């Protein structure tokens, strides 16, 4: 019986490499299919897997990409522009670190880097349309995040202007996506200006309530913030267009809490784990996502501080498969039902 949520899918970014089977789209999709995955989320920033410039210009190339995936036995779930989206908005404090995500030709030139990133994200809208996709995933970038904690006191208007600028940069991009029949699921993630529900609302408001501004739901980032990730679905389910299945754990101590004391990932109170090794209530998540009608992909994003990516990927497909829900077509008490009898109803109510 089919399930409402599609899956299992896998995000290829953390697995791409120079050695087989991670060195080409043909090899990596066969590897993923061999582990039981039915879909692949393709990073547009990994050139040996996907040529974004070609995809934005050529139906023939897009047909080749779809053919490679189909021959392996997988579908494309979404295209990812996480790294390029990050570069749409960069606070100067992060310039040197984030230059590494961009080509050398725009290093030490924030204006040129932003223009390059916007062009990349826009090309992904066209490539998605050519591939027959309705959803994509990305980051918002960050102008205000260095000022997250209000000490020293933030100057009046700083946060408001940061989000206004995000709106000015992203609204034309979102318009372009809407014109191409595609939306963007922003991964709500610390380090981005949009890192929880409140900041997502601020971002959407800055973009005029844009219908193409959606959410790539990833509970791991919410658990590490101690945010109620199940209630988040209750509140924002209409805006969720993508789902990263990623586990995490938070083990506060007398030495560290949410900020984790600048420790390495292994030694942090909050850390990412492979599926099933953390604390995320995936049964609750899949139940709520199904309840609210989410019908797109459940995609593994592997980022574990202990377990190898190969083991994490091998365990991920059956984990997701186990949590997919076959939606019932009947109520458990249908056997006791009957046609409406108005006379009976009145008798039972004494009317």
Q: What is the CATH number of the domain that holds 115?
A: 3.20.20.150
Spatial distance between the Cα atoms of 349 and 351, rounded to a whole number of angstroms: 5
C-alpha dihedral, 161 to 162 to 167 to 168, nearest 10°: 70
Asked if residue 1 belongs to a domain, the reply is no
| pLDDT tens-digit map of 258-279 | 999 999 999 999 999 999 999 9
Residue 88 lies in a domain: yes
Per-residue pLDDT tens digits for 122-165 = 999 999 999 999 999 999 999 999 999 999 999 999 999 999 99
Residue 73 lies in a domain: yes
The C-alpha atoms of residue 68 and residue 60 are separated, in whole angstroms, by: 12
Q: What is the span of the domain harbouring residue 25?
A: 6-349
If one counts every other C-beta atom within 10 angstroms of the C-beta of residue 243, the result is 28
Closest CA to 129 of 69, 178, 75, 186: 178
User: Residue 3: what pLDDT?
Assistant: 82
CB-CB neighbours of 32 under 10 Å: 26
User: Does some domain include residue 253?
Assistant: yes
CA–centroid distance for 41 within its chain: 10
Cα distance from N-terminal residue to C-terminal residue, the chain: 45
pTM reported for the whole predicted model: 0.95
Identify the DSSP state of 108: T
Structural domains counted in the chain: 1
Other CB atoms within 10 A of residue 222 CB: 22
The verdict on residue 65 lying in a domain is yes
What pLDDT, in 10s, does the model give residues 208-240? Answer: 999 999 999 999 999 999 999 999 999 999 999
321's enclosing H/E stretch is helix 309-323
């Amino acid at each position: 019986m089919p399930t409402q949520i599609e899956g299992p899918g896998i995000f290829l970014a953390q697995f791409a490499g120079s050695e087989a089977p991670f060195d080409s789209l043909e090899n990596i999709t066969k590897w993923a299919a061999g582990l039981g995955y039915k879909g692949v989320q393709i990073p547009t920033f990994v050139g040996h897997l996907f040529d974004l410039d070609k995809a934005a210009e050529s139906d023939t190339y897009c047909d080749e990409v779809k053919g490679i995936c189909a021959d392996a036995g997988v579908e494309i779930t979404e295209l990812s522009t996480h790294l390029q989206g990050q570069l749409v908005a960069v606070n100067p404090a992060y310039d040197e670190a984030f230059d590494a995500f961009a080509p050398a030709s725009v290093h030490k030139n924030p204006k040129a880097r932003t223009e390059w990133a916007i062009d990349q994200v826009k090309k992904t809208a066209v490539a998605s349309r050519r591939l027959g996709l309705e959803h994509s995933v990305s980051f918002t970038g960050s102008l205000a995040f260095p000022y997250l904690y209000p000490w020293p006191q933030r100057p009046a208007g700083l946060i408001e202007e940061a989000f206004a600028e995000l709106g000015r940069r992203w609204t034309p991009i979102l318009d372009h996506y809407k014109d191409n029949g595609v939306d963007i699921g922003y991964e709500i993630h610390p380090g981005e200006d949009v890192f929880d529900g409140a900041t997502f609302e601020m971002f959407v408001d800055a973009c005029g309530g844009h219908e193409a501004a959606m959410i790539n739901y990833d509970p791991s980032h919410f658990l590490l913030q101690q945010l109620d990730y199940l209630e988040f679905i209750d509140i924002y389910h209409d805006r969720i267009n993508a789902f990263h299945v990623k586990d995490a754990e938070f083990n506060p101590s007398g030495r560290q809490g949410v900020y984790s004391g600048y420790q390495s990932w292994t030694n942090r109170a909050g850390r990412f784990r492979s599926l099933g090794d953390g604390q995320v209530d995936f049964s609750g998540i899949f139940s709520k996502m199904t309840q609210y009608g989410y019908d797109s992909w459940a995609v593994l994003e592997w980022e574990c501080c202990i377990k190898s990516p190969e083991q994490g990927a091998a365990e991920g497909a059956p984990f997701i498969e186990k949590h997919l829900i076959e939606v019932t077509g009947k109520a458990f008490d249908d056997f006791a039902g009957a046609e409406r009898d108005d006379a009976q109803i009145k008798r039972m109510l004494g009317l």
